[in-house]
Structure 1
Amino acid sequence: MRWIGFLSLVALSECLVTIPLTKIKSMRESLREKDLLTDYLQRHPYSHAYRFLSGEGVTVHPMRNFLDLYYVGTISIGTPPQEFKVIFDTGSADLLVPSIYCSSPICVTHRTFDPRASSTFQSTDQPIELPYGSGKVTGRLGYDDVRIGDLVCKSQAFGLSWLELSLSLEFTAYDGILGLAYPALALRNTTPVFDSMWNQGLISENLFAFYLSSNEKNGSVVMFGGVDPSYYRGELQWVPVSEQGYWQVTVDSISMDSKVVACADSCQAFMDTGTSLVIGPTNSVLNILRNISAQNTSTSWYVVSCEAIHSLPDIVFTINGVAYPVPASAYIRREQTGICYPNLDTDTSDSSSLWVLGDAFLRLYFTVFDRANNRIGLAPVIA
């Protein structure tokens, strides 16, 4: 954050009788159609039904959509388990939660980890300092068992914050962050959570995937160890990772109405589930804002006519030769005040040329993060 289960059919040879088969909806499919799947998984996280829905070697973990701003799932740390709500963030690589030793106002409004209450906690004297787009966190490194659904990572490294410098985090609906980027971004000499899953033999495939729901709907999930094809249409299109830190790829171009508006000579971008917007270099984003007639306000926020949403062109990201259109209904958000804002922002950090494809993009495309082959798979979500 900068701020399968699948059904296998066994063919029986030498059968003397042919029986017509009728497709029966699975329990998961029925719950999803009624928008009840996330609530069910949250109420029965460790039941046999949950493992059936997940599939052998695959864990499907529910997340809640908060106003299309971020997606939060529940994990637990320690023995007995202490629960925390976290963002599963592909833009960072560390697990971080507040500790009881944190004196910041942010920690007062969130759950805090008590090392004294866990029989499996291992302390260290290693200090940590983690910069995030929304602030800076300092604290200490510790080790304990981390549970995500039916997965338990033994002796997992994680950060316990003692000081959190960000007013914007004080009233968030999540306590911490669980990073899913490459180990290159992790704290020195630590193993990130996903790498622990694989190293400890908890998952059958060295990958994870995201389905992000829209407009506060239920059903958002992160899945570890496999891919459920019922969440997307067509075939996954694979994109090689260009640099193994962030989940970074090469973008061929960015266009509107068949005209290139940014990234004319290709550029770099990374998929970030911990960022709500699409972020890019200042000049490129301003060019797109001009193309949609966005107006700057006295607060420096850009606004767009809500009536224009249905007539504005798609922003098309061409990646590895495949076009990924983002319609105006996705790159513009309507607030309760009736004002419409672009889901676009400029990168103010050291004139970075990187693009960040956040949730505004990822809600449209089921995304597979394949560590085994260092690639990302994309396919349109099933609405």
Structure 2
Amino acid sequence: MVRATFSFILAAIQVATATSLHVPLTRIAIPTDRSVDDIVVAADRLRCRYGFAPVTEVSLRKRGLDMSMPLINQGYDMAYIGTVSVGSPPQTFQIVMDTGSSDLWLASTSCASCPLDTPGYNLSASSTYKNTTIASLTSISTNEISIQYNGGVVLGALASDTVSMAGFTVDPQTFLVANAVSGNVLSPNVSGIMGLAFQGLSATDAVPFWQALVNNGQLSSPEMAFYLTRVIDNPNATENMPGGVFTLGGTNSSLYTGDVEYITLADSSALTFWLLTVQNVTIQGSPIKISTGNAATASIDTGTSLIGAPQDAVEAIYKMVPGSRALGGNYTGFYSFPCSTLVNVSVSFGGQLWPISPEDMNWGPIGQTETQCMGGIFSLDVVSPSATGGPDWIFGDAFMKNVYSVFRVNPPAVGFAHLSEVATNYSDAYPYPYNSSTSASSASYAAPSTHVQMILLSALASLALASSVFS
């Protein structure tokens, strides 16, 4: 089996030779006009994604080997974008890497409603393209399928073609070719989404790309792993900042220390999201009372930077923070606290407690005030319970930046490990450790014949929301 490792980069990507690969990670500078309103929009998208009612009137709903790649961190560490090649000859696209969804879809060249700068898939230019159907979808009266997504709707037809990413190829791979996209589904220069959850969540019922690799025996180990850097808290951030690392088919031992703690998925009999069960939460070192069992399921989701929780847990958390207050209007479900307060939250999914940095618990000042800041945990069910029976907690990048995360297929589990010194001190001074079996000081990598580089992107639509803030 081939083993390799990829790094996330942000703006400039360096291509290595075929015999060695040391790629420093970079990022696109953070916009200076970031607003807590952006976080409110992202929170409502996340609510809708998992079947909860939004606070605002925005209609944003969603239906339900070892290789590593460079990625880009653009803006707020909100999403991960990788490079994928499709068709013959190959057409290359940037797509969001998302463990909270399962479908692969690409904008077509005929997508009139896509942003003008969206590179589209030209099916007529590929000799290996085929129109396709899936038996379980034969009840659909037309060839078009719609996917309700966080941010809008994607409408298109199924296709199959050769798809390659990170040196791996699935031929044929079924995916959706989007002819129409509404809302803010696509960011500039991004052509689609690569779902990294299970087939049971797929609107197209297609086998996800990563799952096809597992089924075909192409991976050295049936797992994938993420390491994410933190950039939003750095006041001296420049364009050349580290982004993170995604590894497909194994782990990168240079980026974590100790053992990976694997936790069996909450329901291994019906695999959809990557679901764990929250067992314990502490705030400022003290445990809070939370619902347990089926009322404490948690999705580990790279598609958001936020942390969403049940209303009773959110109230219990901020009750332990002096000076905190519930927010109202479009900010309903959020809390604020004095900006000078360090909020220390830790969570356990059945093993050890994993601390979340106070930097990830503070989204910055609200409005014109410099004294109250928006808290990093918000209520998912402040309006109503999930209409789809979705998970009760959502742990996005605000949590994942604090751990090394591993998603394992067999047996189904999510694992976490403590970040290594290499990871916590990650910078351009550290060349990327591509060999997952060696230390950082001796890292080297005999690259495969095909390099696919992945980019870490975070993009939030800036939406002005005028409302009364404090309840």
TM-score under structure 2 length normalisation: 0.66
Q: Give, in whole Å, the separation in 1 of the partners of 2:11 and 2:119.
A: 23
Residue 319 (structure 1) aligns with: 349
Are residue 85 (structure 1) and residue 90 (structure 2) matched?
Answer: no
Alpha-carbon shift at residue 308 of structure 1 (Å): 1.7
Residue 18 (structure 1) aligns with: none
Alpha-carbon shift at residue 188 of structure 1 (Å): 4.7
Residue 375 (structure 1) aligns with: 413
Residue 70 (structure 1) aligns with: 79
Residue 240 (structure 1) aligns with: 264
* Unaligned segments of structure 1, at least 5 residues: 7-27
Residue 282 (structure 1) aligns with: 311
Q: 1:203-282 to 2 correspondence within 5 Å?
A: 203-215=219-231, 217-243=241-267, 244-266=271-293, 267-282=296-311
Residue 182 (structure 1) aligns with: 198
Q: Give, in whole Å, the separation in 2 of the partners of 1:169 and 1:39.
A: 20
TM-score under structure 1 length normalisation: 0.80
Alpha-carbon shift at residue 278 of structure 1 (Å): 0.6
* Unaligned segments of structure 2, at least 5 residues: 25-64, 134-142, 233-240, 425-471
Indicate how the Cα distance of structure 1 residues 86 and 40 shifts in structure 2: closer, same or farther if over 3 A, else same.
closer
Are residue 351 (structure 1) and residue 385 (structure 2) matched?
Answer: yes
Q: Give, in whole Å, the separation in 1 of the partners of 2:376 and 2:92.
A: 32
Question: Please, which moves more after superposition, 300-309 or 363-372?
Answer: 300-309
Do the aligned partners of 1:297 and 1:303 also contact (CA within 8 Å) in 2? no
Residue 402 (structure 2) aligns with: 364
Alpha-carbon shift at residue 144 of structure 1 (Å): 1.1
Indicate how the Cα distance of structure 1 residues 378 and 283 shifts in structure 2: closer, same or farther if over 3 A, else same.
same
* C-alpha RMSD over aligned residues: 3.1
**Secondary structure in 2 matching 1:307:** coil
* Greater RCO, 1 or 2 (C-alpha within 8 Å, sep 6+): 2
Write the deviation string for residues 274-323 of structure 1: whole angstroms up to 9, x where unpaired: 111011223322443443314526542644432223xx3x2121211311
Residue 12 (structure 1) aligns with: none
Residue 51 (structure 2) aligns with: none
For 1:282, give the aligned amino acid: Q
Do the aligned partners of 2:299 and 2:393 also contact (CA within 8 Å) in 1? yes
Are residue 201 (structure 1) and residue 231 (structure 2) matched?
Answer: no
Write the deviation string for residues 180-211 of structure 1: whole angstroms up to 9, x where unpaired: 11111124542110112123332211111111
Alpha-carbon shift at residue 368 of structure 1 (Å): 0.8
Residue 9 (structure 1) aligns with: none
Alpha-carbon shift at residue 237 of structure 1 (Å): 0.7
Do the aligned partners of 2:10 and 2:74 also contact (CA within 8 Å) in 1? no
Q: Alignment partner for residue 59 of structure 1, among 62, 67, 71?
A: 67
Residue 11 (structure 1) aligns with: none
Q: Which has the higher strand share?
A: 1
Question: Please, which moves more after superposition, 335-344 or 134-143?
Answer: 335-344
Aligned residues: 345
Do the aligned partners of 1:45 and 1:149 also contact (CA within 8 Å) in 2? no
